Amino acid sequence: MKTVDGQLRLVAPRKQVLDVFKLTCTDTILTIDPDRATALAD
């Protein structure tokens, strides 16, 4: 994806999923947006 300037963004994951990302520190390497509008604005 980097060669074509792409991005992988997670939009509004459920609380349980977000908790797992935080527990495993995965949230520090993923782009997690609270809603679709925010994800598309960046």
- pLDDT digits 0-9 by tens, 17-41: 999 999 999 999 999 999 999 999 9
Going 25 to 30 to 35 to 38, the CA torsion angle's sign is: positive
Q: Give the per-residue pLDDT at 6.
A: 84
Gap between the Cα atoms of 28 and 31, Å rounded: 8
Gap between the Cα atoms of 24 and 20, Å rounded: 6
Task: Say whether pLDDT at 2 is over 80.
Answer: no
Sketch the domain layout of the chain as residue ranges. 2-41
If one compares 8 and 5, the residue with the highest pLDDT of the two is 8
Confidence of residue 3 (pLDDT cuts 50, 70, 90): confident
Residue 42 per-residue DSSP state: -
Can you point out the beta strands (E) in 1-42?
9-11, 31-33
Q: Give the per-residue pLDDT at 1.
A: 63
